[in-house]
Amino acid sequence: MLTFRYRTSAGIVEGTVESPDELEGFELALPVEPPEVWGAGVTYERSRDARMAESDDAKDLYLLVYEAERPELFLKDAGCRRTVGPGDPLGVRSDSAWNVPEPEIAVVLGEGGAPAGLTIGNDVSSRDIEGMNPLYLPQAKIFAGSCALGPAILAPDDWEAPLEIRMRIADADGAELFAGETSTSRMRRTFPELVEWLLRANPVPAGSVLLTGTGLVPPDDFTLEPGHVVEIHVPGIGTLTNPVVAAEELLTTRRSELHV
């Protein structure tokens, strides 16, 4: 069963369907408006290698994190200020020359932090900023439009079943710039393990989301730019599609919506 939210003339309505194919024809909205979005890093070998490649002076740090018992966890968003839904524009930083999408499985947390469902997440990141210094991680991860979720929430029958993740990036004319796929079977850690670490001494509210890390990274000579379109597909959940704009373009709209 898939839970989703869609826009109508009367506002945003929640619905359920059996298959992602049934989502066609709806104007989809964020499937959940998380009070907090958290991220987990270096959970795949591919992500470990990418972090090591981008960091001249901290290569050993990422190797240690990958092999350690304690995972890397960071706050990605709070108050849903930087998170967008299906069809909404993603942001990329203009002060970064190396921006990438990071397709991930996102765990939606219920009461008491219990995993309640799975959706698709895009943890947009500025790799050159993080590569300069690991302490710049918040600036590399947290900015307008840096997170996307959707299109729906799956309540899986088997939480341990591997999920296939495919990503395609195209330019404004639809020409393919990158395509690849991976599987959660390649994760170093499990969803329950990451959730358990997140909840340690940490009052995470119900409805929050945990991004579980990426195993699909474009080549080092690729950077995400305004005008690109990112599609992330997970069988059983659907396809999350977002155009790309400069993060600075989103600030005026978001500040108006949030009255800040």
CATH classification of the domain holding 86: 3.90.850.10
Q: pLDDT value at position 225?
A: 98
Q: Would you tell me how many other CB atoms lie within 10 Å of the CB of residue 172?
A: 12
Distance between CA atoms of residues 197 and 182, nearest Å: 24
Q: What is the pLDDT of residue 53?
A: 66
Our measurement of the distance from residue 79's CA atom to the centroid of its chain's CA atoms, rounded to an integer in Å, reads: 16
pTM > 0.75: yes or no: yes
Does residue 87 lie within any of the structural domains?
yes
Q: Domain span at residue 42?
A: 28-258
For 152-198, write each residue's pLDDT tens digit.
Answer: 999 999 999 999 999 999 999 999 999 999 999 999 999 999 999 99
The total number of structural domains in the chain stands at 1
Q: Beta 164-170 vs 11-17: how paired, if at all?
A: unpaired
Chain mean pLDDT for the chain: 93
Residue 179 within any structural domain of the chain: yes
For the cut 60, the answer to whether the pLDDT of residue 71 exceeds it is yes
pLDDT of residue 51: 61
pLDDT digits (tens, 9 = 90+) for 242-256: 999 999 999 876 555
Q: If 0-12 CB within 10 Å is exposed, 13-18 middle and 19+ buried, where does residue 117 land?
A: buried
Do 13 and 5 contact (CB within 8 A), yes or no?
yes
Residue 12 lies in a domain: no
Q: HSE on the CB side for 236, CA within 13 Å?
A: 16
Residue 156 lies in a domain: yes
Any residues with CB less than 8 A from the CB of 226 and at least 6 apart, and which? 92, 244, 245, 246
Mean pLDDT value across residues 115-125 = 98
What distances in angstroms separate CA 20 from CA 17, 139, 165, 235, 238, one per listed residue?
7, 34, 15, 8, 5
Lowest-pLDDT range of 119-133, 189-203, 222-236, 245-259: 245-259
* Whole-angstrom distance, CA of residue 106 vs CA of residue 97: 27
Looking at the domain assignment, is residue 49 inside a domain?
yes
Give residue 20's pLDDT: 97
Instruction: Determine, yes or no, domain membership for 101.
Output: yes
58: in domain: yes
For 77-109, write each residue's pLDDT tens digit. 999 999 999 999 999 999 999 999 999 999 999
Q: What is the pLDDT of residue 63?
A: 76
Residue 56 has a pLDDT of 59
Residue 3 lies in a domain: no
* CA-wise closest residue to 123 among 108, 98, 140, 110: 140
Report residue 248 as tokens: 């600075």
Label residue 17 by pLDDT band (50, 70, 90): very high
